[in-house]
Amino acid sequence: MRALVTGAAGFIGSHLCAHLLAAGDTVVGVDSLTDSYDPALKEANLRVPAASPAFTFHRADLLAADLGALLDGVDAVYHLAGQPGVRPSWGREFALYTSRNVLATQALLEAARGRPLRKFVYASSSSVYGDALRSPTPETTCPRPVSPYGVTKLAGEQLCELYRTAYGLPSASLRLFTVYGPRQRPDMAFARLVAAAASGEPFPLYGDGEQTRDFTYVRDVVGAMRDAVRSRFTGVANLGGGSPVSMKQAIAAVERVIGPVALELHPEGPGDARHTSADITLAAREFGFRPRTELHDGLAAMAGARERRG
């Protein structure tokens, strides 16, 4: 299969490219290497897929690229490019979120419609739920984002649904629940916790530490994305780790794997959901999703990768 991966140089995108290549697919990667975090880290992320002759990379912004040329001969689109992060999505930065999460998604859908695609996978987010009333949360729960980021991810997802129903584009929006693993974005909790445990620098903890997250290991996520493409599934499905833990428990887990973490306490920020917990019945039934990685093992892999990087 020939795949187009947008956001190929990002945390999840680089793992996805490596997974697709290992499974025998041909991969066209595209990424503009935005400065949402150090672009040098994104360049380093590309080293693994770039070693394969079946990988080609285009440094381009989806809002300026020749999308028709990128889509030529492609069987599956994995659309991961976007502006992530909940807290910075308030205020003036929102323009970046609308451009990278909404306008870029619409441009890609528009270029993809009418093409004989097997699937258009969209990396949606648990943040579309906000403070969900049901836990674990099924896809039928009414989305009520509590952050501007969540609003833009929901808009992207609704655009995918619209192109699916209006034009028959076979889209699958996968709502990812807090993904972690080696090369995690440096602004995310586990990346900062692992760094804090290794360096002795304090970790800024927002809120009382009782908020829970359904952490999902990156290899389980990228495996499920490819499985979704090969299944008959279209629509919206959750991808969560299946066993939510509180931030306090997450910190304790990092301490068991690496060592003590000094905490710097901050009040809870606006935009943070209190709890996230995925009902994964639909993904299990439709494309055999089963989270396989225990938190301890995933954290050990992150710590090992960090040590190897030096």
Ligand X SMILES: NC(=O)c1ccc[n+]([C@@H]2O[C@H](COP(=O)([O-])OP(=O)(O)OC[C@H]3O[C@@H](n4cnc5c(N)ncnc54)[C@H](O)[C@@H]3O)[C@@H](O)[C@H]2O)c1
Catalytic residues: 149
**Smallest distance from ligand X to CB 7, Å:** 3
How far is Cα 32 from Cα 42, in angstroms, rounded to an integer? Answer: 10
What's the Rg (C-alpha) of the chain?
18
Would you tell me which residues interact with ligand X (CB under 6 A)? 7, 9-13, 30-34, 36, 42, 61-63, 80-84, 100, 104, 123, 125, 153, 176, 178-179, 185
Which is it for strands 26-31 and 212-213: parallel, antiparallel or unpaired?
A: unpaired
Nearer to ligand X, 146 or 168 (CB): 146
**Smallest distance from ligand X to CB 260, Å:** 25
Nearer to ligand X, 33 or 251 (CB): 33
Nearer to ligand X, 19 or 100 (CB): 100
> How far is CA 296 from its chain centroid?
20
Which is it for strands 55-59 and 76-79: parallel, antiparallel or unpaired?
A: unpaired
User: Which helix (H) or strand (E) is 27 found in, with range?
Assistant: strand 26-31
Q: Give the Cβ contact number of residue 142 at 10 Å.
A: 9
Question: Are the CB atoms for 211 and 275 separated by under 8 Å?
Answer: yes
**Smallest distance from ligand X to CB 104, Å:** 4
Amino acid sitting at position 94? F
**Smallest distance from ligand X to CB 9, Å:** 4
Nearer to ligand X, 92 or 232 (CB): 92
Burial of 51 (0-12, 13-18, 19+ CB in 10 A): exposed
